[in-house]
Amino acid sequence: MDENKVQQLFETKLSQDNKGEGWHFKVGDKWLNLTAEMLTNREKMLLKLMQKPSFPVQHSPWADYLLRRQKKPVSTGKFRFLQFKIKPLSQNFVMETFLAALKKMFVFPPEDVILLAPNRGVVVEKITPTSLTKEDLIGVMQTLEDDFECQSRLFVGHSWEAGDDLARLFKAEEKVFVTIRAPKKVFNFTAVSLDYFTNLDQDYLAQKYYAALTQEQTLAPMITALYQHKGNISSAAKALYVHRNTLQYQIDKLAQETGLNLREMDDLVFCYLILHAQHSA
């Protein structure tokens, strides 16, 4: 869209923000903000029918730094980003009330809570001896889900030094959170690192291996159990509720048919990687 033509058409300058009442349209990296006085009744009626409400830009020291690369609010300490996504299950859900309750779950108030989209945001937390563990956060999110009738996902970011490029690290973690499907509601980077570092969905060899490893419904659970139990056949058999000899037979059968021996750690990791990356693609 031509910025100059847009400005001439509406006789107004483009803005850096989409603030105020009216209608807001993204033009390049700027905003066209139209007020009711600038439009005819017919144009206003048409816009009301066509346009979804825009999400307002948030301003705070942390929001300006993380989203707009302005001055960093801190110089010392360690910080982490807890990114969340909420799916309301009730029409009575109010995000502002939810966020207020979320803040109260921390012993020390977070540095900031920033909404990045109507249903997604980030808690900026300074690390202290009382910072919640991942297990603590599982309980927190479950409590909030029960209280507010919603579903949630929470990405627990790494603890970064204030001297790091926190804005860049936040963006990198945000990319992980919005693009990778995690098996658990509360997770950190290590839980999805295989998905993130592998991009096998377009690889022909990977597709062929995946087809071979999913011909029978028992293979994927068997590979996963063996991987999770570090190749220990007895422990994996218990997890699968099968006899140890049955599992050994299945391992031998796969080796005979495909040449992949799950008793070899290299083969086991390879099979798990193929299944995991393809499944999440």
For 50-85, the pLDDT digits (tens) are 665 556 768 899 999 999 999 999 999 999 999 999
Q: Selecting from 1.10.287.610, 3.30.470.10, 1.10.260.40, 1.10.10.2840, what CATH number does the domain 204-280 have?
A: 1.10.10.2840
pLDDT digits (tens, 9 = 90+) for 115-156: 999 999 999 999 999 999 999 999 999 999 999 999 999 999
Token digits for 46?
A: 């048409």
For residue 174, the one-letter residue type is: E
Kindly tell me if the per-residue pLDDT of 180 is higher than 60: yes
pLDDT digits (tens, 9 = 90+) for 187-241: 998 787 777 766 555 567 777 888 888 989 999 999 999 999 999 999 999 999 9
SS3 267: helix
**Contact status, residue 32 vs residue 19, Cβ threshold 8 Å:** no
φ and ψ at 12, to 5 degrees? -150, 155
Give the integer Cα–Cα distance in Å for 155 and 176. 9
In the chain, where the domains are located: 3-50, 61-191, 204-280
SS3 79: strand
**Contact status, residue 99 vs residue 121, Cβ threshold 8 Å:** yes
Give the integer Cα–Cα distance in Å for 65 and 144. 28
Q: Which fold has domain 61-191?
A: Alpha-Beta Plaits (3.30.70)
pTM: 0.61
| Unique residue bearing structure tokens 């031509």 | 2
Name the band, by pLDDT with cuts 50, 70 and 90, for residue 100. very high
